[in-house]
Amino acid sequence: MTQKTILKGRLNGAQRTRLKSLLDMMYRPAELAEVVNFKVRQVYRVYVPLGCPNKRDEHNHLWINGKAFREWYYETYLRTQLKADEAYCLTCLRGRKIIDGQEKIKNGLIYIQSNCPECGRVLTRIVGSERCRRDQS
C-alpha cells in the first residue's frame, strides 16, 4: 500500500481565488507572493523544489509566469474528493471514515460529528440546512 505524499504550500480559499487574477506575464517571486498573499520564502522553499515552472535571467533572478503557475498549482494540489461517509481531518490531512457520527443542528446547519479513527480529533461534516428540509416538506 503506497502512502500519498502530503504536499506543503496549500493555499486557503481566498488565496486560491486570487490565483485567478494572475496574468499571462512574468512575475518576480515578491510580486507573485503579494498578488496571491503568501510569503516570498514559500516560493523558494516549497514551489520551486516541487517543480513550479520558472525561468532565471542572465543575473540569476527568478521569474514565474502567472498563468503557468496557476495551471501548475491546480495540477499539483488536487482537491480532495470525499465519499458520502467521510469527513476531512485537519490533523491527518486526509478524508477519514465517519464512525458513530452524531447528527447535530446549530444556527440552521445540520452536521455530523465523530472522532477521527487515527488521531482522535473531532471531525465535522455539514450535510444540509434546516431551510432545505423545510423547502422539501
CATH number for the domain harbouring residue 38 = 1.10.10
Q: What is the mean pLDDT of each run of 10 residues along the chain (137 residues)?
A: 61 93 97 96 95 96 97 90 89 88 91 92 89 61
Q: Say yes or no: 91 and 130 in one domain.
A: yes
Q: Say whether both 61 and 113 belong to one domain.
A: no
Q: Both 99 and 61 in a single domain? A: no
**What's the confidence (pLDDT) of residue 49?**
94
Q: Return left, alpha or beta for 74; rule: phi > 0 is left, psi -120 to 50 is alpha, else beta.
A: alpha
Give the C-alpha distances (Å, rounded to integers) separating 88 from 50, 95, 119. 24, 4, 12
As a whole number of angstroms, the distance between CA 110 and CA 30 comes to: 42
- Within this chain, do residues 18 and 42 fall inside the same structural domain, yes or no? yes
Closest CA to 69 of 34, 30, 32: 32
Q: Residue 121's pLDDT is what? A: 93
Over residues 60-90, the pLDDT tens digits come to: 999 999 999 999 999 998 887 888 899 988 8
Record the pTM. 0.66
The total of structural domains in the chain comes to 2
Which residues constitute the domain of residue 66? Answer: 13-76
State whether the Cα torsion 108-80-45-71 is positive or negative. negative
